[in-house]
Amino acid sequence: MKITVASGKGGTGKTTFSVLFARAIAPALYVDADVEEPNGGIFLKPTIEKVEDFTEPVPKIIPEKCTYCGECARACPYKALVIIPPPAKKDLFFPELCHSCGVCAYVCPEKGALIEVPRKKGVVRIGRAGNLDFMEGILNIGEPTAVPLITDLKKRVKNYKGDVIIDAPPGTSCPVVQAVEDADYVILVAEPTPFGVHDLSLVVEMVEELKVPYGIVINKAQEGNTLVEEFANSRGIEILFRLPFSEDIARMYSRGELPFERFEEGLRKLHARIKEIAG
């Protein structure tokens, strides 16, 4: 099964829950797809066995063959290319704006005037943390979109024999949709605060639109605080698990540690429950 863990906003405990869950159900594969700020590795402390570049094709103009007609620059939807016509005959390329869409190469009328060359946009780190397989994508700072790297991670894990836990980016933007859209099940992590419930409502709308089965995990659950339960009951959504509000956990977290054993049994039961629902 591919289980994606998402949240309506950052800082809700999505990674805390993802790594606790992945470790509890191991052997499995944990994938940190929060590629702009992956931090699951801080808690899992994997041994990294392989680091592979993530590249995408970007245009390169060959001055000897280019007529500086400007077709490529006019067609670029992201204004990443500027062509200065003769007599100046110059080209400017802004790699941080380029989405590697390939339109410029497609429209160029001169054979060999615009070629595509790979440009490194990040890395994928692969390793192991005990009996848990580990993978994380790290996007270079300043890259325009996280979607291609998340797509790459998903391709890499497609044939994994076992359960895959994908730690998605926070929010409801395109990278999150990419991480969530073909999951077998989505776990939404939320905090019991008015802001937490508001952001939860946004991510619930997203998963309902994508028609993926889902349930809610409450992080920092406190006795007497029923904000998330009230929201879930009003929509008929299942509360799957509660991680308690605890100073001990906060202290461990600040040291890059988590109480893995404490929740193991409950999280294994949750795993069985999810299999039952999604199966």
Task: Say which DSSP state 97 is in.
Answer: T
246: exposed, middle or buried (Cβ count in 10 Å: 0-12, 13-18, 19+): middle
56, two tokens: 């995408």
Q: Does 61 bind ligand SF4 (CB under 6 A)?
A: yes
Q: Does 113 bind ligand SF4 (CB under 6 A)?
A: yes
For the CB of residue 58, give the shortest distance to ligand SF4 in the complex, in Å. 6
For the CB of residue 47, give the shortest distance to ligand SF4 in the complex, in Å. 37
Nearer to ligand SF4, 144 or 259 (CB): 144
188, two tokens: 């939404």
Residue from 68, 214, 231, 241 that binds ligand SF4 (CB under 6 A)? Answer: 68
> Which amino acid is located at 228 in the chain?
V
Nearer to ligand SF4, 110 or 229 (CB): 110
Q: Which stretch binds ligand SF4 (CB under 6 A): 8-16, 98-106, 176-184, 225-233?
A: 98-106
41: exposed, middle or buried (Cβ count in 10 Å: 0-12, 13-18, 19+): buried
List the interface residues with ligand SF4, window 69-88 (CB under 6 A).
Answer: 69-72, 76, 78, 80-81, 83
Q: Does 100 bind ligand SF4 (CB under 6 A)?
A: yes
Contacts of 104 (CB under 8 A, 6+ apart): 59, 72, 73, 75, 76, 81, 114
Please, how many CA atoms are within 13 Å of residue 122, restricted to the half-sphere of its CB?
27
Q: Tell me the angle at which helices 194-210 and 227-235 cross, rounded to the nearest 10 degrees.
A: 30
Q: Which stretch binds ligand SF4 (CB under 6 A): 63-71, 132-140, 175-183, 244-252?
A: 63-71
Residues that bind ligand SF4 (CB under 6 A): 58-59, 61, 66-72, 76, 78, 80-81, 83, 98-104, 108, 110, 113-114
